[in-house]
Structures are given as C-alpha cells and as structure tokens.
Amino acid sequence: MWSIGIYTGDSPFQLRGVANNPVLRSTDVTDVSAEFVADPFMLHNDGRWYMFFEVLDRDTERGVIALATSNDGFTWSYEQVVLAEPFHLSYPYVFEWQGERYMIPETLGESAVYLYKADEFPTRWSRQQKLIEGAHADPSIVRYDDLWWMFTCTMPYQHDVLRLHFARDLDGPWKEHPRSPLVVNDKSRARPAGRILQLNRHLLRFAQDCVPHYGTGVRAFEISNLTRETYVEAEPATSPILGACGEGWNAMGMHHVDAHRQPDGTWIACVDGRHGVHLC
C-alpha cells in the first residue's frame, strides 16, 4: 500500500528520490497495527525534523496521526501515535504561527474542518475549534497578503471539486471565495496534495491527479492573482512533478508532497507512494 519517502532537488519542480526510500513503512509503526503510512508533513525545529503522518490502524479501520523524527531529514525514527479521535484522521497539515504549532488534519467523519494546537510539541495536541462546516478533504492552509486561505476538496470520494475559503484571523470567521468552487468535475487537478508554497510573491499549490485512478500523481499550479475577489492560476510546463516510477515502493503512484527550502537554497520534501503493479 502506501509508504513514505524523501525527495530532494534544486526546486519544488525538480525533485528526485533519495537512495534509501522508502524511509517509513507500515512495519516501522510499533504502537498500533498499521495497514499503511501516508500524507506526511514536516516541521524543522531546533536542528531536528519532525514528521507527522497518517497511520491506518487495522484494528479500528481508522486513521491516526503519528510522529517520526530525524536529525538530517534522510534517516527517520518512528516515535509514536500523537493524535487519535473516535473518527478517522489523515493529512496532518502542521504549521507554525506566532510562536505556536498548529495542525489542521482531515476530519471528514465529523463533517467539519477543525484546528488543533500543540499543548506540548510534538506529542500532545488538543482540538481548539471548528473552522468550516461540511465534509472537506485534505484542507490546505496558507498565510498570504495578511489573510488566511484554505483549499479543500468537497467531493472526497469523487476527487473532482476544489473550494477556497479565506479569513482575516486563523480562528475565523471563514468565508467562501466568490470564485469558489475553483474546480468542478475535474479529478485530475481538484484534490489538494500537500503544503502550499510561496515563491516570488506567487503561491504554488499541489493537486492530486486522480486519472485514471486515485493517487496517480501530483501536479503543480502557480497562483498569479489571489485577492478577496479574484483567482488566477496556471500549470507550469514542469508539471506534473511526481508520479509512478516503476517497480518498487512507488510503482503505482504518488499523491502527496511537502517541500521545504533549506539554508543552502536546495529543497527537501516528504512524499508518499503506493507500491504494486509496474506501470511505467
């Protein structure tokens, strides 16, 4: 099924896998019976990398959020499950704001998007409040031009609708953008696929390509105009940036990327891939 790897490159458009991929498998999980690991997000703090990701628990058939750590970003040690709820959790989008660490995971089972805060980073998290009502897959947040923006997929099993909300403050109130839904009836570019980046005053969003099947690859879209009233994006020639790479851990596809710029200007990203039948 799904496992987690590390990619590096000179830009988010030119990422290549490292030699020891995958760096995390279901067999690395020690405190629950894991079906797979997926949807990784990283934070770098005090010289150490912290990776949060979904673990699908075989016993409950629900996702929980787990933690792995690394000193160099390449060799990872599984730590523990850090967040579990009576409902399924995935896509633990972690970020920092005003000295605090927050997480917005996918919480489809509760028909809402919830904000979580680290009470004791990185192992203790508490639910703070509801941000948006409704079933929203893969909520992806970014701070841009003094506003918060959140992209979500509201057809989580068809993967073909992308919506956009915005707010002045993190805790809301959140309002749907007048151009939303941004994508309708297109499962090749609707569902979010990882952290939104800001590059040269433009935003870069990643989308799952779910054609011909869920998790085929990851496409990139440069957002050149984003205001309370307007939205313009275009797909660069370098897209798609991730996809099935033959036999091995990501033979059947990839559907997630979280890329971080390093002090030397290069990039490191955590990704996931699905193994199985050779497609290339």
User: What pLDDT is attached to residue 245?
Assistant: 77
The tens-digit pLDDT sequence of the chain (280 residues) is: 899 999 999 999 999 999 999 999 999 999 999 999 999 999 999 999 999 999 999 999 999 999 999 999 999 999 999 999 999 999 999 999 999 999 999 999 999 999 999 999 999 999 999 999 999 999 999 999 999 999 999 999 999 999 999 999 999 999 999 999 999 999 999 999 999 999 988 999 999 999 999 999 999 999 999 999 999 999 999 999 999 877 799 999 999 999 999 999 999 999 999 996 433 3
Domain presence at residue 280? no
Q: Are 182 and 160 in contact (CB under 8 A)?
A: no
Rounded CA gap, 81 and 53, in Å? 9
pLDDT per position as a tens digit, 17-26: 999 999 999 9
Task: At 26, list the tokens.
Answer: 């279901």
Domain presence at residue 185? yes
User: What pLDDT is attached to residue 201?
Assistant: 86
Domain presence at residue 279? no
**Residue 109: strand, helix, or coil:** helix
Domain presence at residue 73? yes
CATH number of 129's domain: 2.115.10.20
- Residue 263 exposure: Cα atoms within 13 Å on the Cβ side: 2
The secondary structure of 183-235 as a DSSP string is EES-TTT-SB-B--EEETTEEEEEEEE-SSSTT-EEEEEEEEEESSS-EEEE-
Rounded CA gap, 182 and 107, in Å? 22
User: What pLDDT is attached to residue 280?
Assistant: 32
Task: At 196, list the tokens.
Answer: 């939104």
pTM over 0.85: yes
Domain limits for position 117: 2-274
Domain presence at residue 54? yes
**Residue 26: strand, helix, or coil:** helix
CA Rg value for the chain:
17
Identify residue 163 by its one-letter amino acid code: R
Domain presence at residue 174? yes
Q: Are 220 and 239 in contact (CB under 8 A)?
A: yes
Domain presence at residue 9? yes
Domain presence at residue 51? yes
Rounded CA gap, 197 and 124, in Å? 26
User: What pLDDT is attached to residue 277?
Assistant: 45
Q: Which residues pair with 156 in a beta bridge?
A: none
Q: How many domains in the chain?
A: 1
User: What pLDDT is attached to residue 244?
Assistant: 87
